[in-house]
Amino acid sequence: PYDTFIGRGVLGVRVSPFEEEGRVLGGVIRRLLSGEKAADIGVLPPSRTRLILDDRELRRWDIEGVPPNAEVRFRQPPVWSYYRREAIAVGAVVLLQGALISGLSLARRRQKRAEKGLRESEERFSGIFRDSPAPISIIRKKDGTIVDVNPGWEIITGMPRSEAIGKTPLDTGMVVSGDAEEKFLTFLESGKLLKDYEQVHRMPDGSTRVLSLTTEQTSLYGEPCYIIVAKDVTEPRAMARAQEELAHTSRLAMLGEMTASIAHEINQPLGAILSNTDAAEMLLERQDPPLDEVRHILADIRSDNRRASSVIKRVRSLVGRREVQRVPLELNDLLLESTRLVSHDARRRGVTVVHELGEGLPLLQIDPVQVEQAVINLLLNAMDAMRETPVAARRLVVRSSRWNENEVMAAVEDCGHGIPEEKLGKVFDSFFTTKPGGMGLGLALARSIAEAHGGRLFAENNASKGATFYLILPANFPLTT
């Protein structure tokens, strides 16, 4: 126990041999207990103490000299103190190796998961590619050669997969276009993806079909490719052309009914031009002609000429065949122009036209010719509905307002006998008519025009008498053709 102070920060300690002193003291006690007198025992010899010093503390305080007979003790340092640096280096290497092994193992697991995900993705794509009824082909980006086609492509083209692979779409002989090669090379070089691009293709039986093409870029076996998804739009395009032809026929029939109104709208400004020309000529024959009056007359002639030109231009647009063109337009302007075209017919029938037009309506993105055709059909239909109404009560109201936050409304109200409830849902059916000699196409075309513009057309009977037709159009319909 003498060395229990070693390593405790104590420089040294003086200790006595307590074991030997204990034996001496024990012998004295036994002698006293045996009856021996203390005087006979005598004085005990002095204790022999020893000075014990800690070697590390001596070195710490730079003490070199020590008293004679002093004991210097030291504790054997552990192996760690001799090989600390080596142990740290070995430990660092082991930790680094462990980190590297863990990192490589984690990377390997991630790679396996990625490879598994890629395989699953390829399997899903392959399944979709093979099972999709849509014609799909894959071509290389660098040269446009076909890498693969699905069964849907084989069915619509009539060309086996084995014959298609390695060829370009131009090599298949199906593309019908004089500039097809130029367009195809431009597509490959630009890298611009296609969206609903329509291309005429020749089928094996010699017929032609219109295919709408949409492309996406992908990578197949590490090589950039294009996925081309085709959609046969031949029938929808044919139906659209037939509908446009029907609309054109309906416009011609409608203009036939409006012949008197159109003639009046043209003759009125032409007559005014003739009268103003005669008046100007008379004024100019004076010795001192009033030039200011002549200028006013010329301004009136110019205005009447523009009015007649506007009517002719409007009639030509209604008669001609044309592509759909949606432009920003004020609904109120279109309603006023439509009622102006039928105004003479309305006066001839004894119909009073009243406008109740809202203010601050948003612009519409519409085809003015189509929507004007729909509105004129509603106006003529309303006047026809009042054939049996007394002349004094024949009142036609044209309204416009906001229908809700995103839509505007144009309404045509008549004072006729209304629509029988059992026929209220049929008035928009094709070839349904209650007018003698009518074709039953006007309201059907008007509804199709409304729906083509993202709107709707419906009718309701009024509380008193007559009916109201509501044309609802979106204020934010996208500007597309």
Reply yes or no on whether the pLDDT at 331 is more than 80: yes
Reply yes or no on whether the pLDDT at 254 is more than 90: no
CA–CA dist 444, 429 (Å, integer): 6
What's residue 396's pLDDT?
Answer: 95
Strands 208-220 and 352-357: unpaired
pLDDT bracket for residue 23 (50, 70, 90):
confident
CA–CA dist 359, 332 (Å, integer): 9
Amino acid at 130: R
CA–CA dist 267, 363 (Å, integer): 32
Give residue for tokens 């997969």: 161
Reply yes or no on whether the pLDDT at 468 is more than 70: yes
CA–CA dist 148, 157 (Å, integer): 14
pLDDT bracket for residue 431 (50, 70, 90):
low
Instruction: Tell me the pLDDT tens digit for each residue of 113-167.
Output: 877 766 666 666 666 677 677 888 888 888 888 888 888 888 777 788 888 888 8
Give residue for tokens 């005669």: 278
Element at 50 (helix H, strand E): strand 50-54
331-360 burial, b at 16+ Cβ within 10 Å, e below that, comes to: bbebbebbbbbbbbbbeeeebebeeebeee
Over range 232-241, report the average pLDDT: 69
Among 102-106, 169-173, 340-344, name the one with the lowest average pLDDT. Answer: 169-173
Residues in the chain: 481
Alpha helices in 64-83 (DSSP H): 79-82
Residues 6+ apart with CB under 8 A from 397: 354, 355, 356, 411, 412, 413
Q: How many CB atoms lie within 10 A of CB 313?
A: 10
Positive or negative CA dihedral for 83, 86, 88, 94? Answer: negative
Strands (E), 96-140: 136-140
Q: Provide the token pair at 295.
A: 């200028």
Question: Three-state DSSP class for 218?
Answer: strand
Alpha helices in 165-206 (DSSP H): 180-190
What's residue 318's pLDDT?
Answer: 58
CA–CA dist 284, 281 (Å, integer): 5
Instruction: Tell me the pLDDT tens digit for each residue of 265-324.
Output: 666 677 777 777 877 888 888 888 888 888 888 887 887 777 777 667 766 665 555 556
Q: 82 or 187, which is more confident? A: 187
- Residue 395's Cβ-count burial label (10 Å; 0-12, 13-18, 19+) is middle
What's residue 149's pLDDT?
Answer: 85
pLDDT bracket for residue 333 (50, 70, 90):
very high
What's residue 418's pLDDT?
Answer: 87
* Summary count for the chain: helices (H), strands (E): 15, 15
**Helix, strand, coil tally for the chain in percent (to 5):** 50, 20, 30
Q: 436 or 191, which is more confident? A: 191
Sheet holding 12-15, edge to edge: 12-15, 50-54, 71-73
Average pLDDT, the chain: 78
Give residue for tokens 């367009």: 183
What's residue 408's pLDDT?
Answer: 94
Among 12-21, 233-242, 282-291, 316-325, name the one with the lowest average pLDDT. Answer: 316-325
Asked if 204 and 194 count as a contact pair (C-beta separation under 8 A), the reply is no
What's residue 480's pLDDT?
Answer: 41
From 216, 242, 246, 210, select the one nearest 228 (Cα to Cα): 216
CA–CA dist 395, 393 (Å, integer): 6
Question: Three-state DSSP class for 405?
Answer: coil
- Residue 49's Cβ-count burial label (10 Å; 0-12, 13-18, 19+) is exposed
Asked if 184 and 228 count as a contact pair (C-beta separation under 8 A), the reply is no
Alpha helices in 320-360 (DSSP H): 331-341, 343-349
Reply yes or no on whether the pLDDT at 389 is more than 80: yes
What is the pTM assigned to this prediction? 0.45
Among 24-28, 416-420, 447-451, name the one with the lowest average pLDDT. Answer: 24-28
CA–CA dist 25, 203 (Å, integer): 129
Q: Provide the token pair at 325.
A: 């063109």
Q: 41 or 439, which is more confident? A: 41
What's residue 401's pLDDT?
Answer: 94
With pLDDT > 70 as the criterion, what percentage of the chain qualifies? 77
What's residue 399's pLDDT?
Answer: 94
Strands (E), 274-368: 327-329, 352-357, 364-366
pLDDT bracket for residue 478 (50, 70, 90):
very low
CA–CA dist 40, 44 (Å, integer): 12
What's residue 249's pLDDT?
Answer: 60
Q: Provide the token pair at 271.
A: 């007559």
What's residue 481's pLDDT?
Answer: 40
